[in-house]
């Protein structure tokens, strides 16, 4: 009997624990991981209280009231999202870039007085597809999809369209999306390539990570790099190209570059390493720095904090990075959705300006990014 009582107690305590955990975190609402308690509080009360209160008196039955806020890209007024629910599906929250875009969307929806339903794909495409299906079920007023391979998500996004839910995307072109938001990747790709080819005096071997050509941002940057390379005929690309992987990107890239260093042991044999994003380049720079191969230069995109640390280190091979403003990108997508829902005309694509980060201006850019982001 004693054992049975103990088992019963165990069962009861487990049930209590589970209920406590579930209710503890659901009161959190919006899905903002590092959001401040104050922000969460306003979300519970129905979103940006001050913003909606300011314009309810002037709205007076008009279909779309002005939120009193200005668009993050163009500075023009943005309609309120009061009473609207926006579903957001991000590809993951592992990288700084992803987290910023995620947070930017969540914060902006709340500022505009709307309700957020957030889903994190955990960098697992199957999960991200399920997320989109689950968002559709909840019939939000709009869905914003962030990143991912265009073809992999085609079936899921077709379902969004079939459900008549307006779809907006970030770094993800799709025939089913009304507006795509991205950094000016054409500029990122060509300027990164020009800097790289100039830095190596227009000749020598370059190693390229090209594991994600299906992701639009990577495709544009890669194609732009190859386009610029046409005018640097003495640059030679190492074949086969390296393949960056997710997850375990940094570790995997470090090993691949270590292998490459063994293959090209002489100084000057290998001049530069290119990738369309920072994560593999962090591993690449680590491998190169550890081997003392100061003759090799590393180039990446995204301004991941760890990558900027390397750029800031005068001894590191990480030479140049391109910073995007993912937080602002997230905000911009919400602005577009708000305008569309208010019946305004919106563009097919919204571009954001990127910044080149060098060893000279890295601290300055870092300050700028911190001010604009979280």
Partner 1 sequence: MNPQIRKNQPVGVLSSFIFKYSGYLIFILVALYFAARSPAFLTLQNVKNILLQSSALGIIACGMTAIIVGGGSHVVRGGIDLSLANNMALNAAVTSFMVASGYPVWVAIGTALAASILVGAINAFSVVKLGFIPLLGTLSMMYILQGVQLLITKNTVISISDPFLKAVANGALFGIPVAVWMFAVSGAAVYLLFHRTVLGNWMYAAGGNPDAARAAGIPVHFVVALTYIIGSITAAAASLIIVSRLSGTVPGVGDLMLLDVLLAGLMSAIFSRLAQPNIAGTVLSALFVGMLSNGFTLINVPTYWVFAIKGVLILGAVSITTTQQRKVMRHV
Under the binding rule (CB under 8 A), the answer on residue 122 touching partner 1 is: yes
Under the binding rule (CB under 8 A), the answer on residue 334 touching partner 1 is: no
Binding mask 130-169 for partner 1 (x = CB under 8 A): xx-xxxxxxx---------x-xx-xxx-xx----------
Under the binding rule (CB under 8 A), the answer on residue 246 touching partner 1 is: yes
Q: How far is the CB of 140 from partner 1 (least distance, A)?
A: 10
* DSSP secondary structure string for all residues of 11-22: HHHHHHHHHHHH
Residue 131 or residue 141: which is nearer to partner 1 going by CB?
131
Under the binding rule (CB under 8 A), the answer on residue 58 touching partner 1 is: no
Under the binding rule (CB under 8 A), the answer on residue 44 touching partner 1 is: no
Name the CA dihedral angle for 68, 73, 74, 80, rounded to a multiple of 10 degrees: -30
Q: How far is the CB of 117 from partner 1 (least distance, A)?
A: 6
* DSSP secondary structure string for all residues of 297-313: EEEEES--HHHHHHHHS
With beta carbons less than 8 A apart as the criterion, state whether 317 and 293 touch. yes
- CA-based torsion, 296, 259, 240, 248: positive or negative: negative
Under the binding rule (CB under 8 A), the answer on residue 120 touching partner 1 is: yes
Binding mask 203-222 for partner 1 (x = CB under 8 A): --------xxxx--------
**Beta carbons within 10 angstroms of residue 192's beta carbon:** 25
Adjacent-strand bridge partners of 355: 323
Q: How far apart are CA 227 and CA 231, in angstroms?
A: 8
Under the binding rule (CB under 8 A), the answer on residue 243 touching partner 1 is: yes
Only one residue has tokens 């990107």, namely: 249
Under the binding rule (CB under 8 A), the answer on residue 234 touching partner 1 is: no
Phi-psi category of 259—alpha, beta or left, where left has phi over 0 and alpha has psi -120 to 50? alpha
* Contacting residues toward partner 1, per CB under 8 A: 1, 3-4, 7-8, 10-11, 14-15, 17-19, 21-22, 25-26, 28-33, 93, 116-120, 122, 124-127, 129-131, 133-139, 149, 151-152, 154-156, 158-159, 211-214, 240, 243, 245-247
């Amino acid at each position: 009997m004693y054992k049975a009582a103990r088992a019963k107690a165990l069962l009861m305590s487990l049930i209590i624990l589970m209920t406590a955990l579930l209710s503890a975190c659901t009161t959190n609402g919006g899905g903002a991981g590092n959001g401040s308690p104050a922000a969460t509080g306003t979300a519970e009360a129905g979103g940006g209280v001050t913003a909606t209160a300011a314009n309810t008196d002037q709205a007076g039955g008009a279909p779309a009231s002005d939120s009193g806020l200005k668009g993050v890209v163009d500075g023009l007024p943005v309609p309120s999202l009061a009473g609207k629910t926006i579903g957001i599906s991000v590809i993951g929250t592992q990288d700084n870039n992803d987290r910023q875009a995620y947070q930017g969307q969540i914060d902006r929806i709340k500022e505009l007085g709307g309700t957020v339903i957030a889903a994190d794909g955990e960098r697992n495409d199957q999960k991200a597809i399920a997320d989109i299906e689950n968002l559709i079920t909840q019939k939000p007023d709009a869905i914003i999809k962030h990143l991912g391979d265009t073809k992999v998500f085609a079936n899921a996004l077709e379902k969004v369209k079939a459900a008549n839910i307006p779809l907006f995307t970030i770094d993800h072109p799709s025939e089913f999306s009304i507006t795509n938001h991205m950094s000016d990747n054409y500029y990122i790709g060509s300027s990164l390539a020009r800097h790289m080819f100039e830095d190596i005096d227009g000749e020598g071997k370059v190693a390229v990570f090209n594991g994600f050509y299906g992701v639009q941002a990577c495709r544009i940057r890669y194609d732009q790099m190859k386009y610029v390379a046409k005018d640097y005929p003495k640059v030679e690309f190492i074949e086969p190209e390296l393949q960056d992987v997710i997850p375990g990107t940094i570790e995997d890239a470090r090993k691949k570059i270590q292998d490459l260093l063994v293959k090209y042991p002489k100084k000057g044999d290998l001049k530069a390493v290119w990738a369309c994003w920072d994560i593999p380049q962090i591993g690449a720079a680590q491998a190169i720095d550890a081997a003392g191969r100061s003759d090799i230069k590393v180039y990446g995109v995204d301004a991941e904090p760890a990558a900027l640390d390397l750029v800031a280190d005068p001894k590191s091979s990480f030479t140049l990075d391109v910073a995007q403003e993912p937080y602002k990108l997230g905000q911009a997508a919400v602005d577009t959705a708000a305008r569309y829902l208010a019946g305004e005309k919106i563009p097919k694509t919204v571009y954001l300006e990127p910044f080149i980060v060098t060893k000279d201006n890295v601290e300055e850019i870092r300050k700028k990014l911190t001010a604009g982001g979280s």
